[in-house]
């Protein structure tokens, strides 16, 4: 599908206007439309953490749609625990890589969302999977300064040299 710039549904999804999004969808707005970055409205809602909009758009959109930089909604929404949960239950790919080879778990680690990290790990994301461009593992992206063990590898983020 060709990119044509942001639509009214993109704007409503980004701003969290659930009522406007419902009205637009009832008026046959294209939930699969792509903006100039190749993102669909679902990407916008996920990135902004709008749980109700993500839920609505999942019934109209493609949970594994990739942007021009190969980001899926799970990548851009990885900092929002409830968004991650919705996307994973809708069969988002927890091991999908963007253009830089970064997976959603890396994005969740960078956001500092322990809840999102745990959800992704529970759905099979790998704590030791390195991005394909820089070789960074998810813990190297973590900025939370917490003191917890993330998974079976007993990776204690506090003991690593973090960025």
Write the DSSP assignment of the chain as a string of letters. --B----HHHHHHHHT-HHHHHHHHHTT--TT-B-TTS--HHHHHHHHT-HHHHHHHHTTS-TT---TT---HHHHTTT-HHHHHHHHHTT--TT---TTS--HHHHHHHHT-HHHHHHHHHTT--TTPPPTTT---HHHH--S----B-STT--BGGGS---
Choose the final residue of a domain: 62, 94, 109: 62
**Residue 67 domain-assigned (yes or no):** no
Is the domain of 85 the same as that of 133? yes
Per-residue pLDDT, 59 = 95
Is the domain of 162 the same as that of 83? yes
Domain count, the chain: 2
Q: Across residues 143-161, what is the average pLDDT?
A: 43
Task: Please state, in angstroms and as integers, the Cα–Cα distance from residue 152 to each residue in 6, 107, 123, 125, following that order.
Answer: 42, 20, 13, 12
Is the domain of 81 the same as that of 49? no
pLDDT (tens digit, 9 = 90+) per residue, 3-19? 577 999 999 999 999 99
pLDDT (tens digit, 9 = 90+) per residue, 51-103? 999 999 999 989 999 999 999 999 999 999 999 999 999 999 998 999 988 88
Is the domain of 91 the same as that of 158? yes
Q: Which CATH number characterizes residue 47's domain?
A: 1.25.40.20
Is the domain of 144 the same as that of 95? yes
Q: How confident is the model at residue 128 (pLDDT cuts 50, 70, 90)?
A: low
**Residue 71 domain-assigned (yes or no):** no
Is the domain of 151 the same as that of 83? yes
- 56: domain range? 1-62
**Residue 130 domain-assigned (yes or no):** yes
Is the domain of 51 the same as that of 115? no
**Residue 70 domain-assigned (yes or no):** no
């Amino acid at each position: 599908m060709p990119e044509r710039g942001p639509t009214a549904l993109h704007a409503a999804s980004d701003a969290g206007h659930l009522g406007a999004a419902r009205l637009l969808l009832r008026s046959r707005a294209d939930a699969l439309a792509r903006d100039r970055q190749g993102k669909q409205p679902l990407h916008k809602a996920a990135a902004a953490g709008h749980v109700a909009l993500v839920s609505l758009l999942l019934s109209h959109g493609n949970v594994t749609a990739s942007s021009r930089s190969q980001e899926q909604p799970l990548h851009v929404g990885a900092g929002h625990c409830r968004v991650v949960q919705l996307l994973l239950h809708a069969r988002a790919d927890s091991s999908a890589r963007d253009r830089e080879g970064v997976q959603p778990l890396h994005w969740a680690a960078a956001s500092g969302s322990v809840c999102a990290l745990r959800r992704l790990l529970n759905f099979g994301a790998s704590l030791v999977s390195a991005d394909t461009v820089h070789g960074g593992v998810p813990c190297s992206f973590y900025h939370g300064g917490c003191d917890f063990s993330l998974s079976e590898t007993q990776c204690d983020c506090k003991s690593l040299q973090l960025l």
